[in-house]
Every structure is written in structure tokens, then in C-alpha cells.
Amino acid sequence: MQRSHHRIVIFVGILILLLVSMSLLYMLGMNYLEGKPRTFWQALQWAAGTTSTTGYSLDTSWTHPVMVILVVFAQFVGVTLIFMVLPIFLIPLLEERFETKLPNESARAKNHVVIFDYGPTVASLIVELAQAGIATVIIDEDEAQARHLLAQGHQVLFGNLDEGVLGKSNLSQARALIVNGSDERNAATIIAARQLGYAGEILALVEDPYHRQPMILAGANGAYTPRHVLGAALAARASQKVNPKVSGIQHLGHKLQVAEVRIPRNSALSGKTLAEAAFGQHAGVTAIGQWVNGKLISPPTPDMRLEPGGILMLVGSDDSIRNIMALCADARLLRRDGPFLIAGGGEVGRKVAQLLKDCGEQTFMIDTQPGPGVDLVGNILDTQILRQAGLDNVQAVILALSSDSTTLFSTVIIKDLAPDVPVIARVNSIENVERIYVAGADFALSISQVSGQLLALRLLGKESVSLDAELQVVKISARRLENCHPKHIDLHQKTGCTIVAVERGEELLVEFAPEFVIQPGDAVYICGDGDAVHKFSQMNS
């Protein structure tokens, strides 16, 4: 029985009891106090008229004080009932009558993915599966959430695990089951699915890393901790010691380095193209990409616009980097020393700190509560706390906060106090990623993207969500590039690679005069992503 129908039954029972009680009291009062006996039906007519506020039939006045009090009380009871009927009984009944019925079974779904309990961690995955042509059936035990998902066009089942909703999802025809609730609820769902005879793949998103093995023992094929992977991704983006921005360049020793240069919003370079900024005219320096809103634009072309607040990646010798920074006085070279400021001492923040410390980096952690690894107790929104933490002398700020609104506002505050310091942000809801970029973050990653990558890699057999772009420096024979100048070879359009150095015998050349040409026996160092390097190798083979 629906809840509104149940309330109506209770209301009718209370109304009958009230009318009978009032009728009997009225009969007694009229007989012994007024001396005007009334039958039960006459008394019932009075009680109904008074309760409904429609009138009193033949009786309109009374003389005994007790009868007057009884009538006044009955009148107020009637008015109260009128106000109770509409919001408590009638409106819920009409809402249930006309609102969209939530489905409680999914008989047509086949080769689909069943997701038990919707949340931010599976939002990206649902999009990835839809793009791959794979249907999803979302089971949710929360009625409001289920209605919201249904309004968004998702295939939803509303019901409780204990009432057998899992068996109504056509689970036997599903390609996978993903459980996304609390760890104890996930374990119960996994066991229930196996008891139904489901032999397919079950993947669990786990809150506590110590619960991964118990999930496997309960029957899951895989158990993932997205928060730990999110922490690792944030640490990798922050420190070159965890994950070099350009892999392979370390093989070139100290002759070549990668520099990240901030283009301030009020810079004279802001808005110019790479050709107009004349970066390419400085000997020994090669632009290999530009970070804008967490995305790496590579390879750069002469007409690539230098975005306000963007970070330009340059490869060159120490001297050439210093020279170009002296010529472009309003550009800012990002720091490579000093601690990383971590805001948030929760699970993600602690994982970031652990990974950074393991590779030899310094960290300084702020949290509102004292705890393991917390160096300063305070609010990240407090400018005095930020100054006390040494904001001007940090390599980057890593925001590992549980509230997206706090992350957004703290980004604005940090960019106001130290506009050149990179801000790397953890985001909970994927819808807020763009807002935090607008606030000034240099890199923002949501737990939805992390879990989406983990699960899509397992279900689709490919890494469908890229956490970070990777550039490589690779040494390749230059036999087909002989007698050409490295800067004049049209590699951008053909392969997406850039020549950053030429090896000639024991000498590594990074500065190319106008008359310089690649000679027989030379080797070239090219920079590009994996696909670009592969194309260059094929072209030069």
C-alpha cells in the first residue's frame, strides 16, 4: 500500500471515531443539560455539520455553559481538520496519483552494466559507457535520487536490496555489476548477486583500502580505492620527482632542462601568438607545449595563442632559459624548490603527502583539525594562515579539501595573494571542475574522472579518461633529415613532434645557427606524445 493511501485509511478511521464520539456527547448534553433529547442520527448530523463547518441543522443556540464549551471545541476541531486534510492527506495522494511512476524492474536490458547506488564516483563512467554504446541500469534506494536520475534520462530501478530489487535488473544478462555504496552495503550486494547465480564480473569501489581483500573474498572480481588513485594523480602532477613532465629528458644530463613559464594575465605576452612572442627566435630554446585549464596543448604551432595565466613549457639549456627569462621580464619561471603546501589532512591529502615525501619532496599541511602529518591547524580561507604557511615560497598548493565550494573560494584567495603559485585541486563533483578552473586552478581532477578511468580500463579495455598528458624525449636516427635545419623541418603538421636537440659525436647541440644543418651520423632528440613519436619513427624508418 502506498504511503498516501495508508494515511487516508488512518484519517478515515480517526474521522469516524471523532464523529461517533461527538455525536454521543451531543446526545447526552442535549438530553441532560438542555432538556431537548436528540436521536443518534440527529446528533450525527450536528457533529458532521460542525466538523465540516457547513452548519448546525436545526440547533443554532445553546444555554448551558458546558454545551456552549462543547460546541466551541467542536468548531475548532472542525477548522483544524480542514487545515490538516489538505497538506497531510490530500496533496500527497494527488502527487502520487499524477507523478511519474518509478520503474521497479528492467526486463529489456541486455549486455548492460548494473550500477548499485549512484554517486559522483560513477558519473564519468556512465558517460564513457554511453559513448561506447553500452547501456547502464542504475539501482538506487533513495527515491529522490532515483527521480532525479530518471528526469535526466537514465535507466533507473528504485527499490531496496532486501526486497529483491537486484533480481529485477535482469542481472543474468548483464556484462558487469558495479557496487558503489558503503563498504558494508557493497559486501551485502555482492553476496546477494552471487546468491542469485550471477557469475559475471563484479567491481567494487571501496572506501577503506583495508577492505579491498574482504571485498574480493565476498565475491568481487576487482576492488578499487579511487581516493588513493586521486591522491597519486595529484602528487604526480605536482612534482617532477613523482612523474617527470617530460620523460626521457633526464638521459640528456644537465645540458637540457624543462622549464615551466607562467604568462601573467597582465603580461605584454598575454594574448600574443607564439610567433609574435618570438620565443622560437631565441637560440637554444624550444617551446613544446602550453598548459591551459589542466590541458596540455602540444605540439605548439606558431599561431598558438599565449593564454593569460597559462603555463608555457620550454626545453633548453640553463643559459638559454635564463636568457629568455631576462628578455621576457614579465614572464615568471615556476619554482623547482621549496615545500608543497597541502590543504586538507584527509585520506586524499595524506596520500599526496606520503607520495611526495617518499620521493624526497618537502610538504607542509594545513587542516582545520590536528591530526597525523598536520603542520598547522587553521582555515585555508584565512589569509593570515596562508602567510604563516609561507605561501610565497612554495612550489605549488595542493587543495585536497572535502568541499568544492571551499576549494573554489580558496583558489581565488591563493591566486590573489600569490598569482604565480600553481594551484592543483581535488574536486568532488565533476560538474564543478570547470568552475574551479575559472577560479584560477592550474590543474583540477575529480574523483569521478579517476574512478571512470579505473572502471573503463577494466570494462572497455582502454584508458578512456586521461588524467594527465605525457610527453617524451626520444633519441632517433636522423638519416632522412640530413642537410635540413631542425627548425625548418615541417614536423608539427606531419607528426606532432619537435626536434629539441641534435647529438653529434660526443657533443649535444641545443642551439642551431641559421646555417646549421643535420649531418650524416647525427642523432636527433624529438619531443612529443606517444602517438607523435610513433608517427615520427614510421616516417623516418
> Tell me, what CATH number does 12's domain have?
1.10.287.70
- Domain end (from 204, 224, 244): 224
Whether 32 and 140 map to the same domain: the answer is no
* 250 contacts 315 by C-beta, under 8 angstroms: no
- Domain end (from 224, 248, 283): 224
Whether 130 and 81 map to the same domain: the answer is no
Domain assignment of residue 269, yes or no: no
**How many CB atoms are closer than 10 A to CB 203?**
24
Whether 128 and 87 map to the same domain: the answer is no
Q: Please report where in the chains the cell 558517460 appears, as a residue.
A: 127
Could you give the number of structural domains in the chain?
4
The strands making up 285-292's β-sheet, listed across from edge to edge, are: 295-297, 285-292, 311-316, 257-262, 332-333
* 88 contacts 59 by C-beta, under 8 angstroms: no
Between CA 190 and CA 186 the distance in angstroms is: 6
- Domain end (from 184, 208, 224): 224
Q: The domain spanning residue 505 has which CATH number?
A: 3.30.70.1450
Q: The domain spanning residue 397 has which CATH number?
A: 3.40.50.720
Whether 83 and 118 map to the same domain: the answer is no
pLDDT tens sequence for the chain (541 residues):
455 566 667 777 877 888 888 888 888 888 888 888 888 888 888 888 877 777 666 677 788 888 888 888 887 887 777 666 666 666 666 555 545 566 666 657 788 999 999 988 888 888 888 888 899 999 988 888 888 888 888 888 888 888 888 888 888 889 999 999 899 999 999 999 999 999 999 999 998 888 989 999 999 999 988 888 888 888 888 888 877 767 666 666 666 778 888 888 888 888 888 887 766 555 667 888 888 887 888 777 778 888 888 888 888 777 777 777 776 767 778 888 899 999 999 989 999 999 999 989 999 999 999 988 999 999 999 999 999 999 999 999 999 998 999 999 999 999 999 999 999 999 988 889 999 999 999 999 888 888 887 788 788 775 434 455 567 788 887 777 888 887 766 766 677 787 888 888 878 777 777 788 888 888 888 887 777 777 777 776 6
Residue 195, C-alpha cell as written in the block = 546468491
- CA distances 335 to 3, 310, 396, Å, are 62, 15, 8
Residue 499, C-alpha cell as written in the block = 626536434
Whether 439 and 497 map to the same domain: the answer is no
Cis peptide before 226 (omega within 30 of 0): no
- Beta pairing partners, 285: 316
Whether 133 and 49 map to the same domain: the answer is no
- Residue 54's domain comprises 3-98
Confidence (pLDDT) at 252: 63
Whether 363 and 420 map to the same domain: the answer is yes
Domain assignment of residue 323, yes or no: no
Strands 523-528 and 471-477: antiparallel
Domain assignment of residue 299, yes or no: no
* 49 contacts 56 by C-beta, under 8 angstroms: yes
Residue type, 34: E
Whether 94 and 151 map to the same domain: the answer is no
Whether 492 and 420 map to the same domain: the answer is no
Confidence (pLDDT) at 158: 85
List the one residue out of 29, 33, 30, 56 whose CA is nearest residue 45.
56
Domain assignment of residue 259, yes or no: no
Domain assignment of residue 309, yes or no: no
Whether 49 and 123 map to the same domain: the answer is no
Domain assignment of residue 130, yes or no: yes
Whether 67 and 121 map to the same domain: the answer is no
Q: What is the pTM of this model?
A: 0.71
Whether 124 and 89 map to the same domain: the answer is no
